[in-house]
Amino acid sequence: MVQINMESNLLGANDLVARRNRALFADKGLLVINLMSSPGSGKTTILERTIEFMDGRLKMGVIEGDLYTDQDALRIEKKGVEVVQINTEGACHLDAGMVGKAFNQLPSADLDMVFIENVGNLVCPAEFDLGEDFKAVVLSTAEGNDKPLKYPLIFHQARAILLNKIDLLPYTDFNLDRFREDLARINPSATVFMVSGRTGEGIENWYLWLLEEVEKKKPR
């Protein structure tokens, strides 16, 4: 009897498309970020703030992933940024095929970077390569400092981790020292940004870091 591992086949097919996506993004000199988090962490608010700090100096496109609605995409569109909506209709993550199709709808010729705002979930999105340059994870102080230990894969894969809602730190039991210790064990090379999407605190540091990453990606 032949036993077929469906998960391996699925991920293998996705990785093939992801490699094609990555080659396409590189050919266009685009920085592409896969932005992940649990629901309600503040991904969309951080994107809004990032756009405000860019102030037209960098041109950004967004591929917006959600289960059913387009509410987040409409928020980004109001900031003057090109957005393509993907509704997964129940699927807990985006895959490389979805992203490739959505990217073809973006006017990418004059873009510097593309954000892929993944479906809110700390498990499934971490398993799927989309062809991005790197993954960034948003965690809010309201969620608790235990998330890196509970969901180590997504934090291990991230090049950037944004601890959001730091303005709420005095009103939560979030243990900042423990968070840093756990993260150092799981991913000591990650760059951590302390931010508040609501107040804008720390967003400038995030923006300046992105600016450096964009410069690295440009053809020489």
Distance CA 57, CA 34 (A): 21
Q: What predicted TM-score, i.e. pTM, was given to this entire model?
A: 0.93
Q: Compute CA distances 172 → 95, 98, 168, whole Å.
A: 34, 37, 7
pLDDT digits (tens, 9 = 90+) for 137-196: 999 999 999 999 999 999 999 999 999 999 999 999 999 999 999 999 999 999 999 999
Distance CA 97, CA 87 (A): 13
Please name the residues in contact with 29: beta carbons below 8 A apart, sequence gap of 6 or more.
217, 218, 219
Domains of the chain with bracketed CATH: 6-217 (3.40.50.300)
**The amino acid at 175:** N
pLDDT digits (tens, 9 = 90+) for 33-67: 999 999 999 999 999 999 999 988 899 999 999 98
What pLDDT band is residue 90 in, cutting at 50, 70 and 90?
A: confident
3-state SS class at 35: strand
Please name the residues in contact with 63: beta carbons below 8 A apart, sequence gap of 6 or more.
83, 84, 86, 94, 99, 102, 103, 106, 114, 115, 116, 117
The beta-strand segments (E) located in 79-200 are: 82-87, 113-117, 134-140, 158-164, 191-194
pLDDT of the residue at 89: 85
